[in-house]
């Protein structure tokens, strides 16, 4: 997986692995023993339906093959344990090993701000600064798959407030990959077939990520038999 990300350059792959090791060391107090992380631990967080990964079938990808992660921030409730966001990153690494699409084609993050209010934005501010910083660091320096884009739809005019919160954590490369579609979902559908998207993104698919999570829990259970 790390070799694929590095285009089979061993030195670059080792550098990325070293970055993951440093990140895990920095997060050791929040994450604890990574060998104990299991999918069911995230059922409550994932069940809020504020994040999802489309799948498990390969057809639910962008037209260029990238994996689609969706965010619906209006569904997010305050987390009892914000460190679950960091633990989720580690668990996702263990699942990405089985997904050649994310290794080869990368992923895009698709986020809708429909029904999102300033009150919801306060919930993001309640996530500790240190957790947010470590979360963004993982995305930019540790992930062994490429972030192809961060695509926003139905973003409000005051979106700048959220960007002001996130900007200190975003590299110039990642900021350049942010694209705002507003209400122009037709342009989004030129990049992603609407038949694979949930209704929140102008699509017709009934699933918003639950199928992928259920499939990964089943796969993980079989791995441990």
pLDDT of 59 over the 90 cut: no
Q: Quick one: residue 65, left, alpha or beta (phi over 0 = left, psi -120 to 50 = alpha)?
A: left
| 67: β partners | 61, 107
Residue 156: per-residue pLDDT: 83
**pTM listed for this prediction:** 0.90
Lowest mean pLDDT of 34-38, 99-103, 197-201, name the range: 99-103
| Mean pLDDT of all residues belonging to the chain | 91
Percent pLDDT > 70 in the chain is 96
Q: Is cis: bond before 56, omega within 30 of 0?
A: yes
Convert the pLDDT of each residue in 10-33 to its tens digit. Answer: 999 999 999 999 999 999 999 999
Residue 206 sits in which domain range?
2-223
Q: Are 68 and 53 in contact (CB under 8 A)?
A: yes
Number of domains in the chain: 1
d(CA 174, CA 139) in angstroms, rounded, equals 9
pLDDT band, very low/low/confident/very high, at 62 (cuts 50, 70, 90): very high
pLDDT of 107 over the 80 cut: yes
pLDDT of 78 over the 90 cut: no
Query: Concatenated DSSP letters for 130-178?
Result: HHHHHHHHIIIII-SS-EEEEEEES--TTHHHHHHHHGGG--HHHHHTE
Q: Are 31 and 24 in contact (CB under 8 A)?
A: yes
- The CATH number for 185's domain is 3.40.525.10
Convert the pLDDT of each residue in 198-223 to its tens digit. Answer: 999 999 999 999 999 999 999 999 99
């Amino acid at each position: 997986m790390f070799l694929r990300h590095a285009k089979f350059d061993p030195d670059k792959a080792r550098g990325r692995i070293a970055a993951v090791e440093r990140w895990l060391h920095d997060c050791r107090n929040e994450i604890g023993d990574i060998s104990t992380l299991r999918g069911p631990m995230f059922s409550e967080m994932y069940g809020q339906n504020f994040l999802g990964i489309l799948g498990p079938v390969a057809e639910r990808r962008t037209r260029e093959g990238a994996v689609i992660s969706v965010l619906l921030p209006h569904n997010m409730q305050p987390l009892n344990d914000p460190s679950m966001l960091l633990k989720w990153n580690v668990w996702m690494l263990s699942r990405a090993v089985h997904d050649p699409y994310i290794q080869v084609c990368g992923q895009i993050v698709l986020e809708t701000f429909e029904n999102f209010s300033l009150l919801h934005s306060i919930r993001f501010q309640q996530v500790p600064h240190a957790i947010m910083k470590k979360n963004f660091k993982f995305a930019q320096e540790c992930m062994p798959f490429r972030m192809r884009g961060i695509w926003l739809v139905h973003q409000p005019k005051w979106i700048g407030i959220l960007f002001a919160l996130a900007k200190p954590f975003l590299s110039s490369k990642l900021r350049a990959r942010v694209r705002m579609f507003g209400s122009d979902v037709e342009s989004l559908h030129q990049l992603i077939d609407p038949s694979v998207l949930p209704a929140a993104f102008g699509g017709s698919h009934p699933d918003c990520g639950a199928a992928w999570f259920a499939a990964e829990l089943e796969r993980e259970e079989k791995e441990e038999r």
